[in-house]
Amino acid sequence: MPVVRLNETELFYAEVGEGLPCLMMHGGLGFDHTYLHPWLDPLGDVMRLVYYDHRGNGRSGRPPWETLTFQQLCADADALREHLGLRRSPSWAIPSAAPSR
């Protein structure tokens, strides 16, 4: 599986399918993208799904904790999209936090 070095860390990603690309993001810290496969891989029949693990998660690199910010995660997604040539593509993300009560 591919790993690319971007923004001073390594990002692990996996692709499923062909067609319109869609960047697939797992929710929260402490997870990886693999739990999404059973439910979302069928979309690979009509789309190119690009799953990846956020920095510090799954099979991606372990950069310093202070780099685990929302802004940096967004910058990583943009850098991966650019690296893969996904200029204008939809993204699919699981929320990272539950609402407070």
Which CATH number belongs to the domain containing residue 69 in this structure? 3.40.50.12270
Residue 99 lies in a domain: no
43 inside domain? yes
What is the structure's pLDDT at 27? 86
Q: What is the pLDDT of residue 39?
A: 94
What is the pTM (predicted TM-score) of this model?
A: 0.88
Tens of pLDDT, residues 57-91: 999 999 999 999 989 999 999 999 999 999 877 88
Task: Specify if 63 maps to a domain.
Answer: yes
Do the domain assignments include residue 98?
A: no
Quickly state the pLDDT bin for 97 (edges 50, 70, 90).
low
Residue 79 DSSP one-character state: H
| Residue 101 resides in a domain | no
The total number of structural domains that make up the chain: 1
**∠ Cα 15 81 54 (to 5°):** 70
CA atoms within 13 Å, Cβ hemisphere of 26: 23
Supply the pLDDT for residue 96.
Answer: 65
Please, which residues have CB within 8 angstroms of residue 65's CB and are 6 or more apart in sequence? 56
Output the six-digit token pair for 33.
Answer: 């993208």
The tokens for 87 are 């200029």
Domain range for residue 83? Answer: 3-93
pLDDT tens figures, 27-57: 888 889 999 999 999 999 999 999 999 999 9
pLDDT band at 98 (very low <50, low <70, confident <90, very high): very low
